[in-house]
Structure 1
C-alpha cells in the first residue's frame, strides 16, 4: 500500500471519533485553549488533552503558547481533502457563545 493512502486511512480513522470531529468543528470557528474545549464538551481535561494530542500527532491541529495558555488551531495546510469534511460539520458558534470570557485570559 502506498504511503499517502496509509496516511489518509489513519487520518480518516482518527476522524471516526465524534469527540475529535467536534473539536475540529470548534476549531473551525476559532482557536481555543483546552479549558474552553473542556467547558463546551463537558469532558475532563485529561480526556480532551488526549484527543488533542492525537489530532496534533496526525498534524490536524497546531499548538501556540500565549502567556501560560496553549491554544489550538486547525492545521489544514496541505490537507485540502479535509475541507469537504469540515464543510459537513455543524456550526459550533452557539456553543462558543456560551463560554465565559474568564477562562484563558
Structure 2
C-alpha cells in the first residue's frame, strides 16, 4: 500500500520508465533470459551507449539489475518490490524468437 509522497514519486518514476517502447522491449527480452549489453545492442540495432542509457533508466527505478562477469555487464529483471511488476512483464509479448535468432546467427555471447 502506497502511503507516502516518496512512494507515489517512486511509483510515478517506475511507470515513466516503462512508458518507452524500447524499454518495454528490453523488459520483454529479459523476461526470456538474462542478456549482456552487447546482445541487446545486436537485437535492438542500437548503439551501446543508447542501450546503456535505457538500461540505466530501468536500473535507477529498480526494474532491472546488473551483474558483472569479467568485462561483461549482464542485465536481468528486478522489480519485485512493485506488486504489479510481474503482471506487467507477463503481459509483454514473447520475444524468445529474437534471442533464438541471435543464437542461430552465432552472435550470442557466452559471457563468462
Pairs aligned (count): 105
Give the ranges of 4+ consecutive aligned residues of structure 1 lying more than 2 Å apart after TM superposition.
100-105
Question: Given the alignment of the two structures, is residue 6 of structure 1 paired with residue 29 of structure 2, yes or no?
Answer: no
Task: Write the deviation string for residues 40-82 of structure 1: whole angstroms up to 9, x where unpaired.
Answer: 1111111001000111111111111112211000013322211
Matching of residues 1-105 of structure 1 within 5 Å: 2-100=5-103, 101-105=106-110
Gaps of 5+ in 2: none
Gaps of 5+ in 1: none
C-alpha RMSD over aligned residues:
1.5
What is the CA distance between 1:85 and its match in structure 2?
Answer: 1.2
* Structure 1 CA distance for aligned equivalents of residues 108 and 31 of structure 2: 20
After TM superposition, the score normalised by the length of structure 1 is: 0.91
* Structure 2 CA distance for aligned equivalents of residues 103 and 89 of structure 1: 22
Q: Which moved more, 1:56-65 or 1:1-10?
A: 1-10
After TM superposition, the score normalised by the length of structure 2 is: 0.86
